[in-house]
Structure 1
Amino acid sequence: MSERLARDERRKDFLWWTKISSRWADCDAYGHVNNATYYSWFDTALTLLAIERGILRAPGQTSIGLCISSECEFLAPVGFPETVDIGIRLGRLGNSSITYELAIFGEAADRASAVCKFTHVYVDADTRAKVSLTEGQRSAMRDLVRL
């Protein structure tokens, strides 16, 4: 997924994990989870990671990450009831941006049901001017970079 989203992502390729359970309300008229819900799940997983790693809501934090691009490929349906695993890795840890690569897996599946890429650029919370990631932010995320 580093340049283009890959259709054959496997569990072993991701480095941080969380679980999310589908709800009846997540399903559309076709009986599977609606595409907009996948983005909500990806955003929830990404926010949990950022809070856990201290790059969101850190004391004295003056920068915020804004999503400047995202893309998703839907590879297999997810239904209700189902619990999915969401894996995250970093495709790129830049000077002022982070590209996150995420995938949704059914609990017993080795192949992804959906793959997604988000790029966040860090800006000053007040002025919205682009800023460099702090060394603390970089070190908190460095182990998630896919080599």
Structure 2
Amino acid sequence: MSDRPTRDDYVAWRTVTTRWRDDDAYGHLNNATYYELFDTAVNAHLYEETGLDVRSLPQIGVVAETGCRYYRELGFPAPIETGLVVDKVGRSSIVYRIGLFQGDSPEAAAEGRFVHVYVDNTVPERPVAPMPDEIRAVVTRLLSPTAAPPP
């Protein structure tokens, strides 16, 4: 039995295409590209689900922490499916997990952790609480069944 995340661990899905330039000299997805995929999965979901340009809100989410566990290689030319789930919704922060899948495997090839902290859009160094209601409404629908309820 594997300890890798599986497709069942995620709530929202998006398929992204890979590009020739995404591969590194060794023929697999460059490490930096994984982080671009995490950022795209989170922000595209927020844009689509809120119907807003999230950059124009009074509070904006900035990345406070990221991480990645690599389980197997990904690369061009096959598309990648991104699975998204939320582990925690705080007063001014959200903890996301993003699974990356390529092909039919039920197990993730990689999983990212991505933390947004909401700050004043005019003074980005200052965290604010609470986050915008529009964002909270969308991300609470992504909560993992094992996550603690939001405050």
Q: Shared fold by TM > 0.5? A: yes
Aligned-partner residue type, residue 49 of structure 2: R
Match of 1:3 in 2: none
Percent sequence identity is: 33
Q: Measure the CA separation in 1 of the matches of 2:74 and 2:10.
A: 19
Confirm whether residue 127 of structure 1 aligns to residue 117 of structure 2: no
Change (3 A) 1:55 1:141: farther
CA deviations 1:52-81 (Å, max 9, x no partner) are: 122851597201001010100111111221
- Provide Cα deviations, 1:24-54, integer angstroms capped at 9, x if missing partner: 1111111111111111111111111110122
Letter in structure 1 aligned against 2:143: V
> 110-119 or 41-50: which moved more?
41-50
1:61 corresponds to which residue?
A: 57
Trace 1:1-147 onto structure 2 (pairs within 5 A): 7-54=3-50, 57-58=53-54, 61-128=57-124, 129-131=126-128, 132-147=130-145
- Number of residues of Structure 1 aligned to a counterpart in Structure 2: 142
Larger deviation, residues 131-140 vs 66-75: 131-140
Letter in structure 2 aligned against 1:109: S
Aligned-pair distance for 1:111? 0.4
Residue 13 of structure 1 and its aligned partner are, at CA, apart by 0.8
Normalized against structure 1, the TM-score is what? 0.89
* Gapped regions of structure 2 (runs ≥ 5): 146-151
Distance 2:17 2:138 in 1: 27
Q: 1:22 and 1:134 mapped to 2: Cα distance?
A: 33
TM-score when normalising by structure 2: 0.87
Pairwise CA RMSD of aligned residues?
A: 1.9
* Unmatched 5+ stretches in structure 1: 1-5
